[in-house]
Amino acid sequence: MPKPGYPRSIMEFTRQFATEEQCLDYLVRCRWPDGFRCRRCGGEKSWPRPDRKAMRCAGCDLITTVTAGTAMHRSRLPLKSWMWAAYLVATDKRGVSALGLQRQLGLTRYETAYQMLQKLRTAMVAPERTQLSGVVEIDETLIGAPFRGRKDRTASDKAVVVGAVEVLPTKKSTQPGRIRLRHVATSSKPRLMAFVKDSVERGALVITDGHETYDEVEKLGYEHGIESTTMGEAQENVLKHLHMVFSNLKTWIEGTHHGGVSKKHLQRYLDEFTFRFNRRHTPQAAFQTILGIAAKMPPHTYEQVYAGEPAAPLPF
């Protein structure tokens, strides 16, 4: 039996996840696409226990939870709340703030919404393993004013973000493909080159502005293209896909999070933006990924992810 599909509309979603029993059934089918099987006795018959977010084996009475290894693990909130939270996070283009989630779900405490979001975001942090390829634009930008309220703000208060976007051919023009974004301490050559090496497949055509920082990409095994106004290119055509991405990123950070993103957490927001951008054509599939039920992904913590521990690749 194939895994259950994704809800394709809000109507479908409402029907599919109306009760705790339905939510549990969905999770069971995600976890055991070929049907439940008890790990203790091998029994294939079981009874749902929605109150425990679990299945009880009819043969040996063992209770197996269905939330282990997912964002919902050890949560006391109803499964329905989790389904809605994941749906909102996956399908709302602007993303959801903790306050927004608290209101939408009717939660009493802000802290509860905040914790839910943090857990759902962990799945978005899952490092994307495949590198960008083909034609790739690379550039840096400065993000926001992380230290709000300071009058003597200088450029050094802003965070440097280096980004990459695939440029895909269309019939008449080009369009953006997948992106990568990284918060770097400074825009020094070694840091930028490390980003290129990590993010872009060798042999790709790397397009940058005329800045000398990127002169070495050829040595690293890339082709190098330059788009620059000094080379006669119109300003709006210089790295236009990446500048569109940067512009959307800034709008999102300033809009959804009111510009209040600290440098400490910036990478996490970049990951969320990247996750959503790269799945903009399949938001419903992102729903399963966020809940942690898309693949057998080992649960990992924020710290592990940033310590560079490997995570299982995403299924799409």
Residue 101 near residue 113, CB atoms below 8 Å: yes
Nearer to Zn ion, 40 or 103 (CB): 40
- Residue 139, beta-bridge partner list: 163
Give, in order, the Cα–Cα distances in Å from 46 to each of 28, 98, 162, 269, 303. 11, 37, 51, 41, 37
Choices 55-63, 131-139, 146-154, 303-311 (CB under 5 A): range interacting with Zn ion: 55-63
| Dist CA 259 CA 253 (whole Å) | 6
Question: Does 127 interact with Zn ion (rule: CB under 5 A)?
Answer: no
Nearer to Zn ion, 40 or 150 (CB): 40
Q: Which residues of 295-313 are buried (b: 16+ CB within 10 A; e: fewer)?
A: eebeebeeeebeeeeebee
Smallest separation (angstroms) from Zn ion to the CB of 37: 9
Choices 62-70, 129-137, 242-250, 295-303 (CB under 5 A): range interacting with Zn ion: 62-70
- Kindly determine how many residues on this chain lie close enough to bind Zn ion according to the rule CB under 5 A: 8
Question: Does 18 interact with Zn ion (rule: CB under 5 A)?
Answer: no
Question: Does 49 interact with Zn ion (rule: CB under 5 A)?
Answer: no
Nearer to Zn ion, 40 or 280 (CB): 40
Question: Does 56 interact with Zn ion (rule: CB under 5 A)?
Answer: no
Nearer to Zn ion, 41 or 220 (CB): 41
- Interface residue with Zn ion among 57, 125, 159, 181 (CB under 5 A) is 57
| Dist CA 109 CA 158 (whole Å) | 32
Smallest separation (angstroms) from Zn ion to the CB of 51: 19
Within positions 85 to 104, which residues make up the interface with Zn ion, using CB under 5 A?
A: none
Question: Does 62 interact with Zn ion (rule: CB under 5 A)?
Answer: yes
Choices 8-16, 41-49, 87-95, 154-162 (CB under 5 A): range interacting with Zn ion: 41-49
Choices 35-43, 186-194, 258-266, 287-295 (CB under 5 A): range interacting with Zn ion: 35-43
Residues with Cβ within 8 Å of residue 248, at least 6 apart in sequence: 277
- Interface residue with Zn ion among 15, 40, 148, 211 (CB under 5 A) is 40
- Interface residue with Zn ion among 10, 18, 41, 220 (CB under 5 A) is 41
Tokens encoding 27 = 């999770």
Cα torsion angle, 232, 236, 239, 240, sign: negative
| φ, ψ of residue 29 in degrees (nearest 5) | -70, -30
Question: Does 69 interact with Zn ion (rule: CB under 5 A)?
Answer: no
| Dist CA 81 CA 116 (whole Å) | 10
| Dist CA 278 CA 246 (whole Å) | 14
Judged by the rule CB under 5 A, the positions of this chain that interact with Zn ion are 38, 40-41, 43, 57, 59-60, 62
